[in-house]
Structures are given as structure tokens and as C-alpha cells.
């Protein structure tokens, strides 16, 4: 019988890491830049994002400050959260939809470009255009 030395990452650590990566990429920030801001290497950021290394509380607080989100952001939709927090399935599924969208290359590019549009009227027109294109695709 072989004894496995490799310890599997905790699902919460994997989730927190994926949320760090999500927010970092939403901001267009590199692993190097985040690491620099924290005084650590980009390799350490990679390990956090994969969940292979656990992020300590004070470091997570620093990351939340640098990425401009509350610490709770990193735990949204965490595995097992729905059991303790019965806040409704609609919220969880809509939040997962946003994560899926922003995890795609196109979604990320669209989000980055969209937030640069300062004119509210133009932003609404873009939303109308996308809705019209989606309705057209549904009709086909």
C-alpha cells in the first residue's frame, strides 16, 4: 500500500484563490504587480490562486485592500456556504453567472471596455445593442 504524501488543497482555499484571480484579472492587474504590492513573488500569488498555499488572514486583508473589494468577496459562493447561508438560490446562480462571464476572455474584454465608457447614455445604448443581438440569436 502506497501512502500519498501530496495533500490536496482545501476547497475553500481553492475558491478563495480563484476569487483573487477573478478580481485581479477584472482589474487588469498582473500577478507580478499584485505580488509587488504585497512584497512577495508572483510565484506565491500563483500558489494562492491555485489554492496550493493558504492565504493568511492579514495577507487576505491586504489583498482585499489592493484589489478594492471587501474580504467577504473572496468567500462569496464558497463550497458549503449555501448550507449555512440560505439566502436564496437565485442569488447564488446569478452570482455564478457573473463569475463564469468574467472568467471568459470575451467577458473580461467586454467588461474592461464597458467600464471605460463614461457617458451613461452610451452605456445604455451598448446594453440595448447587446440585448437586441441576444434576442436575434434566440430567434434563429
> Are 51 and 16 in contact, with CB atoms under 8 Å apart?
yes
Same-domain check for residues 34 and 90: yes
Residue 62: predicted pLDDT: 97
Residue 5: predicted pLDDT: 54
Place of cell 474584454: 109
Place of cell 486583508: 61
Same-domain check for residues 16 and 76: yes
Number of domains the chain contains: 2
Mean pLDDT of the chain: 82
Residue 105: predicted pLDDT: 79
Same-domain check for residues 94 and 138: no
Q: What is the pLDDT of residues 3-25, one digit of tens each?
A: 555 678 889 999 999 999 988 98
127 band by pLDDT with thresholds 50, 70 and 90: confident
Q: Half-sphere exposure of 134 toward its Cβ, with a 13 Å CA cutoff? A: 6
Q: Rounded to 5 degrees, what are φ and ψ at 92?
A: -65, -45
Provide the domain limits for residue 71.
Answer: 11-103
Residue 86: predicted pLDDT: 44
Supply the CATH number for residue 75's domain. 1.10.260.40
Question: Is pLDDT larger for residue 91 or for residue 114?
Answer: 114
85 band by pLDDT with thresholds 50, 70 and 90: very low
Residue 89: predicted pLDDT: 45
Question: Do the domain assignments include residue 1?
Answer: no
Amino acid at each position: 500500500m502506497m501512502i500519498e504524501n501530496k495533500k490536496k488543497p482545501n476547497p475553500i482555499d481553492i475558491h478563495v484563490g480563484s476569487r483573487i484571480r477573478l478580481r485581479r484579472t477584472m482589474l487588469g492587474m498582473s500577478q507580478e504587480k499584485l505580488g509587488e504590492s504585497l512584497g512577495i513573488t508572483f510565484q506565491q500569488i500563483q500558489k494562492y490562486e491555485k489554492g496550493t498555499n493558504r492565504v493568511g488572514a492579514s495577507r487576505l486583508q491586504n489583498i482585499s485592500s489592493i484589489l478594492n473589494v471587501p474580504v467577504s468577496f473572496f468567500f462569496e459562493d464558497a463550497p458549503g456556504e449555501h448550507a449555512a447561508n440560505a439566502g436564496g438560490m437565485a442569488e447564488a446562480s446569478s452570482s455564478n453567472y457573473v463569475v463564469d462571464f468574467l472568467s471568459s476572455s470575451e467577458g473580461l474584454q467586454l467588461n474592461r471596455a464597458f467600464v471605460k465608457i463614461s457617458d451613461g447614455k452610451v452605456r445604455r445604448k451598448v446594453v440595448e445593442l447587446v440585448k437586441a443581438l441576444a434576442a436575434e440569436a434566440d430567434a434563429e
